[in-house]
Amino acid sequence: MTLSGRILIIDDEESLRHTLARILQGAGHEVTTAGNGMEGLAYLSGASFELVYLDIPMPDMSGLEVLKAIHQKHPDTPVVLFTAQPDMNSAIQAVREGASDYLLKPLQPQTIIDRTQAILVKQEKEQRRRTIQSQIEALQTELHGIESAEGGPAGEQGSIATGEDRFFVRGKLRLDLHARKVTIGDRSVSLPPTSFDYLLVLARHSPNVVDYRTLVVEAQGYKADAREAQELAKWHIHHIRQAIEPDASNPSHVINVRGSGYRLVVD
């Protein structure tokens, strides 16, 4: 499935902005470019975008500052950071603060195209899921109203069952796929959107080992080599452990299988 979308590129390097714009426009996307963080935020205040590409080091506002501002007003908009190898700590911090992903410079055209497509496909599926869920809830409300008008107990005739579609339960772990919330035992915990997807993949495969590349493909929708997949998975696993482990430094739920991947144990 090939999708086109509205994409915003925020980067103070003019040549890189123009190059990325040409690549993405050639792939069928509508592209807007901004030379700094304030300009990018101004565009976001006046239009909607399916995806934002954002550089980390910029003169007026750093990429991390722009990321925070975007998520305050546009929490559902995916943001992908650009970074060079020496600035990896900033990229990791960005992922911890809700960035969908990061890409290392120099950027490869096909990587940009593939990553963009994967994110847009995932966004469309998520929007479709929310639409279907809303329709189901509306039908439930209507059904309860009919049953009440007929004098029968609401839900007795067989209300629309949404639990199986909305919730995924594995042992004491419960994931609300609609609200994207996590409960483990009697505790509710929060996770960044992409880390939630990583946990869902682990839960679906539990208690089997999920290798690094499979984690990235199923959680983020694109293929990565083994090294890159391991690095990406590691930081999302960090988020998950901080959220669900009694002691994140001595994990008992998310187990690292050295050189292979991770497995989830929650029974």
The pLDDT of residue 140 is 65
Q: Per residue in 49-96, pLDDT tens?
A: 999 999 888 888 888 889 889 988 888 888 988 877 555 666 666 666
Same domain, 110 and 174: no
The answer to the question of residue 151 being in a domain is no
Same domain, 209 and 105: no
The pLDDT of residue 155 is 38
Higher local confidence (pLDDT), 127 or 182: 182
Q: 153 pLDDT band (50/70/90 cuts)? A: very low
The pLDDT of residue 24 is 95
Same domain, 166 and 114: no
| Number of Cβ atoms within 10 Å of the Cβ of 112 | 20
Q: Which of these three, 121, 146, 171, is where a domain ends? A: 121
Same domain, 186 and 255: yes
The pLDDT of residue 92 is 66
Q: Which of these three, 65, 99, 121, is where a domain ends? A: 121
The pLDDT of residue 105 is 79
Q: Which of these three, 91, 121, 151, is where a domain ends? A: 121
The pLDDT of residue 56 is 85
Residue 41's domain spans which residues? 6-121
> Looking at residue 229, which CATH number applies to its domain?
1.10.10.10
Q: Is the pLDDT of residue 161 over 60?
A: no
Higher local confidence (pLDDT), 232 or 196: 196
User: To the nearest whole percent, how much of the chain has pLDDT over 70?
Assistant: 83
Q: Per residue in 2-50, pLDDT tens?
A: 677 899 999 999 999 999 999 999 999 999 999 999 999 999 999 989 9
Across 45-54, 102-111, 123-132, which has the greatest mean pLDDT? 45-54
Q: Count how many domains the chain has.
A: 2
Across 176-185, 192-201, 232-241, 250-259, which has the greatest mean pLDDT? 250-259
Instruction: Find the mean pLDDT for residues 176-191.
Output: 88
Same domain, 181 and 260: yes
Q: 158 pLDDT band (50/70/90 cuts)? A: very low
The pLDDT of residue 32 is 96
Same domain, 113 and 172: no
The answer to the question of residue 149 being in a domain is no
